[in-house]
Amino acid sequence: MADEPESGGPYEIILFVGGILLVLVLLWYYNGGPDKADLRGLFLAPPMPVGSGDAYGPQLSATTTIDTRVNKQ
């Protein structure tokens, strides 16, 4: 109606998007954010004409075995 104020002003939208980003950053940090980058490496190698296109870090595959013994002697 004519007397209703506008909803979704610019500050309201900025706060909404900022809130969503804050929640995503907190979830990332809670799940080990900065430490997980060391698992497989941060970046991929450049595409085929320039590089190999492989991921940096250890190559994990279906044949990779992981030793789960508690006392590794």
User: Radius of gyration of the chain from Cα atoms?
Assistant: 23
Question: Is 60 exceeded by the pLDDT of residue 57?
Answer: no
Provide mean pLDDT across the span 15-31: 94
Asked if residues 59 and 44 have their Cβ atoms less than 8 Å apart, the reply is: no
Query: What domain range includes position 71?
Result: 38-73
**Please, how many CA atoms are within 13 Å of residue 51, restricted to the half-sphere of its CB?**
9
Residue 24 lies in a domain: no
Which tops the pLDDT comparison, 38 or 23?
23
pLDDT of 5: 66
Provide mean pLDDT across the span 53-62: 61
Residue 69 lies in a domain: yes
Residue 10 lies in a domain: no
pTM over 0.85? The answer is: no
Residue 55 lies in a domain: yes
